[in-house]
Amino acid sequence: MRGFLGQYGLIVVLLVLPVVYGIQDLQQDGDLSRLGNNLMDGLSNGAIWALVALGYTLVYGIIELINFAHGDVFMIGSFVAFGFYGTIGLSTATGTVGLLGGLAVTLLVAMLACASLNVMIERVAYRPLRNAPKLAPLITAVGFSFILQNVGLLWLGGSQRGVPDLIESQKELVNLGGVSISQGDALALAVTAPLVLLLTGFVATSRIGKAMRATAQDPEAARLMGINVDTTISLTFLLGGLLAGAAGLIYALYQTTIWFFQGFQAGLIAFTAAVMGGIGNLRGAVLGGLIIGCIQQISDNRIGAEWTPAIVFGYLVLIMVFRPQGLLGEETREAG
Amino acid sequence: MSDSGDRTGADGAILRAAGVSKAFGGLVAVDDVTFSIPPRSIVSIIGPNGAGKTTFFNMLTGLYKPTRGQVVFDGKDITGRRPDIITSLGVARTFQNIRLFETMSAIENVLVGQHSRMKATIFGSILRTPRVRREEREVRERARETLAYAGLSEPALEEMAANLSYGDQRRVEIARALASDPTLLLLDEPTAGMNPQESARLTAFMEQLRDERGITILLIEHDMRVVMGVSERITVLDHGEKIAEGPPEDVRKEPRVVEAYLGKQD
Amino acid sequence: MSAIDPLRDRRETLAGLARSRQASRAFTGLVIFGAIVLPFFYPSGSGFIDDSTTALAYVVMALGLNIVVGFAGLLDLGYVAFFAIGAFTTGWFASAFYADANGGAGIHLFVTGPAAELPGIHMNFLLVLVAAVVLTAVAGALIGLPTLRLRGDYIAIVTLAFGEIVGRVAINGDEIKLAQDYPLTRGRQGITPVDKIDLPFVDQFTSLNLRPWYWTALGLALLTLFVNFRLRDSRLGRAWIAVREDEVAAASMGVPLVRTKLLAYATGAAFGGMSGAFLGSYLNTVNADQFEFSFSIFILAMIILGGLGSIWGVVVGAIALSFINNRLIPDVFNTWPAKVGLDFDLTELSFGIFGFLLVIMMVLRPAGLLPERRRRLELAEGVGAGEEDLYEARA
């Protein structure tokens, strides 16, 4: 009974919000454009969460640890991106070619910064505690989360900080049947999609990817087969960091505000997404991210942004109760 | 090999498993096993590695829910019930890899074993009512006795389980299982890692349990000497199926059994 | 980490225990006596008594969380929820918040003093405590319910999520109306003023004389200690530790997992509620800014610093961190930079420093200051560290 409830119950619960408001829209406006816009914004936001969620799911898949500091690494990514393109002089006045070029470089910088940060955190906070009870690395992760937040606090102060709207993220690029697709939306999807494809392809086909999957399945066996488990784990963190950096840049350009606390919130949201999709499952993380993004937008728009976190966390609890393996995950294997 | 699955155990079987199967996704670990245990006996389950013995055990004790089939203990249907309830009904077990509570002392381990036989509630414990105090004294006394009965020496009683020798840990595990006052005791490879003298001592102990305390024992074992020596009846599993059952002399000669262990003799 | 010296543990056998038990009883008596007379050495409104009172309230919370995390091994990262519920119980039932109750005349239950005349719901503090304990115990069980089949780190996330949900409800509670003019909370503005504690046979407390507050907090702390010690050495306490070590083995030995875990959550929560109810009155306000995630970590850090599962260790950890937070950081950190010639407010770094301490603590001495002997073993050798079981434990 629980299995049945779990499988379809989750999908039903996820559909409740869009369906309810879709019907309401049809009654009030006569078309679904408002819902469509919610979903469009949701997908763009969701793309950002997908990138961060991938980082969580990669790390969890390989060492069964929630990298609590990951959300704050993402925040640092935004900060680094902002700092960098400010330094190289990008502004709203820069021409398109210069802008794109500058942003491409910024993307690389942000990605590399976050990758190094993530690898460093693994080295310092997690590796020494690999044999300790799970509480220990969780605490160090929280510790690092606080440290990074303090860094953000000192860097740009305690309140939300507006950043230049370099790509005119709100400007409508195209309109499909009442649904407005802005330049920000396009950016989010245009950067995320290739990154996701690259990542999944890399993990599926490359030797390192195979090593990652082997280590995730059985670290001891992987070690016996000659895989350097430590390096593989570091590489996993590196990949997660790269994605977080990219997410950070997109976030800064899309939202045009950043602040030190965004990582904590993003972290929980992205983790919810990872769990919703099935922790350890890459496609699931992306799917979860997009779904959560949509839920958020609908909630922001219809119920009120102050309630959205509670709603997202409510979903997290529901998933954990009824389907902890998420949408695409498998039932926990009972070994024998 | 099929039984009618008599619920009341009219033939006197203390435990009856009828058509029990367990599948993990596509993998069938136990396939339609029917099995009963006569009371006050010592029976064994043997089979090559991966035959499904521990999985079968786990279904009897409630750790796994059978995909199909029924398990009846002492006339009660325990199929898929919670492990702690099954224990309180009178089934106790030890584990293949010792699973003691390592940071608790030997005595404390056995005290936990008595959990289902104790009545102290949270409020009673906070207030330390006379009843609770008496119960604590009694269970401690019983724990000492059980540990001594299992062969543990005095100084080891308060020792943290992690610091005990392997043999002593095995003894504590058995004492802990006995603490719940079971009528059926399931031992999962109890002589693993023991030398012949220790195995012989354990065998004698099992017979003592059966004769002195009327406990029925179900054994998973790999040590053939022990199995042949102590079992009244042996059941052989291979690839999840029951391939033979009977007294030791018969089973040892069964061609299917020989084949399962040694491979096809052609 | 050094290997465990078997002789060291052997010392804990019978003879040694008897002797040390007497000695520790005497020592405990001395400490408690000292704690009782402490306020007489300071002026009745002094900052030291203020900090001590807060520290004692945190001791209660830390001991409560210790039951959940230290004894039962359930990673609860949302303990702030129980602080909130306890504090709101005080806010609802011991203030003028619901000024329309009883048609403006107010509801008064066993209150004396000025509050007896005011509109709103006013209950005697003991009644408030009881209500807080009941509400938080129920909340604890409800929050624990979804976590029963989950693994350690998932429990952390779910409890964290609940903590956030409660925090959000606290912030937005001014929009939630239980009935006309009966909002759930007053959001960030807070419910204030809150009645001073009103106990039978004693004059109502004031904000000038801190000594009665201190003794109340001390009383709560001693009560909590008492309950903790009783439970630790009881059937339930052993069941908790067994569940923490290896829940599959525990279940196989007859320990009912669901009931045992829920009792841990409920009991731990009840102490959080008790302390929260006290703090609601002591701080004279119940507002949403008090209930953030960092508070959960603050309490968790206390029990880690002191030694997870070790009752006295947790007391020490709670007092230490409380004083560091309330005294050391503001007083010392504010003066140091000036002495070194820097124009810098070190309190801005307090978050980061706290995080840094967490990292250092776990990497260097995860067993804590006064480790419970078990925990030393666990963290030194990875022994019994919540056996990662292959079976999905059937709750």
Give the tens place of pLDDT for each residue, A121-152.
999 888 888 877 777 888 888 899 999 999 99
pLDDT reported for residue C220: 95
Asked if C355 is an interface residue toward chain A (Cβ–Cβ < 8 A), one would say yes
| DSSP for C380-392, written as a single string | HH-TTSS---SS-
DSSP H helices, chain C, are 6-10, 14-37, 47-65, 80-93, 125-144, 152-172, 211-232, 235-245, 247-252, 257-282, 293-306, 311-323, 333-339, 350-364, 373-381
Distance from CA of A248 to the nearest CA of C (A): 21
Asked if C392 is an interface residue toward chain A (Cβ–Cβ < 8 A), one would say yes
Tell if the CB–CB gap between C146 and A132 is shorter than 8 Å. no
Asked if A275 is an interface residue toward chain C (Cβ–Cβ < 8 A), one would say yes
Cα C293 to Cα C76, C83, C164, C313, distances in angstroms: 12, 11, 7, 23
β-partners of residue B35 are B17
Asked if C258 is an interface residue toward chain A (Cβ–Cβ < 8 A), one would say no
**Which of helix, strand or coil describes residue A19?**
helix
Tell if the CB–CB gap between C256 and B100 is shorter than 8 Å. no
Tell if the CB–CB gap between A336 and B54 is shorter than 8 Å. yes
Residues C309, C313, C318, C321, Cα dihedral to 10°: -120
| DSSP for C326-364, written as a single string | IIIIIIIHHHHHHHTT----GGGGHHHHHHHHHHHHHHH
Asked if A305 is an interface residue toward chain C (Cβ–Cβ < 8 A), one would say no
A322 in Cβ contact with A2 (< 8 Å): yes
Which residue in the set A138, A144, A334 is minimally distant from C156, CB to CB? Answer: A138
Which residue in the set B112, B126, B179 is minimally distant from C255, CB to CB? Answer: B112
Asked if A147 is an interface residue toward chain C (Cβ–Cβ < 8 A), one would say yes
Give the tens place of pLDDT for each residue, A38-70.
888 889 899 999 999 999 999 998 888 888 899
Tell if the CB–CB gap between A336 and B25 is shorter than 8 Å. no
Which residue in the set C6, C253, C394 is minimally distant from B115, CB to CB? Answer: C253
pLDDT reported for residue C244: 92
Asked if A57 is an interface residue toward chain C (Cβ–Cβ < 8 A), one would say no
pLDDT at position B1 over 50? no
* Token output for A92: 């709203």
Cα B170 to Cα A16, A85, B166, distances in angstroms: 55, 66, 6
A145 in Cβ contact with A69 (< 8 Å): yes
Class of domain A10-25+32-153+174-322: mainly alpha
Domains (ranges, CATH) in chain B?
1-90+182-266 (3.40.50.300), 101-168 (no CATH)
Other Cβ atoms less than 10 A from the Cβ of B20: the count is: 23
Tell if the CB–CB gap between B54 and A333 is shorter than 8 Å. no
C62 in Cβ contact with C221 (< 8 Å): no
β-partners of residue C364 are none
Distance CA C13, CA A7 (A): 54
- By DSSP bridging, strand C107-109 and strand C121-123 are parallel
Q: C: neighbours with 3+ CB pairs under 8 Å?
A: A, B
Tell if the CB–CB gap between B104 and C242 is shorter than 8 Å. yes
**Which of helix, strand or coil describes residue C109?**
strand
Distance CA B194, CA C360 (A): 44
Distance from CA of A218 to the nearest CA of B (A): 19
Q: What is the ipTM of this complex?
A: 0.90
> How many residues comprise chain A?
336
Sign, CA torsion A144/A148/A153/A159:
negative
Q: How confident is the model at residue C355 (pLDDT cuts 50, 70, 90)?
A: confident
Tell if the CB–CB gap between B64 and A333 is shorter than 8 Å. no
pLDDT at position C112 over 80? no
Asked if A137 is an interface residue toward chain C (Cβ–Cβ < 8 A), one would say yes
Cis status of the peptide bond prior to C193, with omega within 30 of 0: yes
Which residues from chain A sit within 8 angstroms of residue C161, using beta carbons? Answer: 268, 272, 313-314, 316-317
Tell if the CB–CB gap between A137 and C363 is shorter than 8 Å. no
pLDDT reported for residue C353: 81
pLDDT at position C4 over 70? no
Distance from CA of A95 to the nearest CA of C (A): 39
What are phi and psi for residue C107, nearest 5 degrees? Answer: -115, 130
Sign, CA torsion C126/C130/C136/C139:
negative
Closest chain B residue by Cα to residue C374: B103
Distance from CA of B258 to the nearest CA of C (A): 31
Sequence ranges of the domains in chain C: 48-290
Tell if the CB–CB gap between B101 and C245 is shorter than 8 Å. yes
pLDDT reported for residue C378: 57
- By DSSP bridging, strand B184-188 and strand B91-93 are parallel
C366 in Cβ contact with A140 (< 8 Å): no
Measured at the CA of C256, the angle between CA C255 and CA C260, to 5 degrees, comes to 95
Distance CA C325, CA C323 (A): 5
Residue-by-residue pLDDT tens, chain A, 336 positions: 555 666 677 788 888 888 888 888 888 877 777 888 888 888 989 999 999 999 999 999 888 888 889 999 999 999 999 998 888 877 777 777 888 888 889 999 999 999 999 999 999 888 888 877 777 888 888 899 999 999 998 888 888 888 887 777 777 777 777 778 888 888 888 889 999 999 989 988 888 888 888 888 888 888 888 888 889 999 999 999 999 999 999 999 888 889 998 998 889 899 989 988 888 889 899 999 999 999 998 888 888 888 898 999 998 888 887 788 888 876 553 322
Closest chain B residue by Cα to residue A336: B55
pLDDT reported for residue C346: 63
The pLDDT mean for chain B works out to 89
Distance from CA of A292 to the nearest CA of C (A): 15
Distance from CA of B58 to the nearest CA of C (A): 9
Distance CA B136, CA B142 (A): 10
Which residues from chain C sit within 8 angstroms of residue B62, using beta carbons? Answer: 251-252, 394
What are phi and psi for residue C18, nearest 5 degrees? Answer: -60, -50
Distance from CA of B253 to the nearest CA of C (A): 35
* Token output for C390: 């292959």
The pLDDT mean for chain C works out to 82
Nearest to B114 by CA among B84, B134, B94: B84
DSSP H helices, A278-333, are 282-298, 308-322
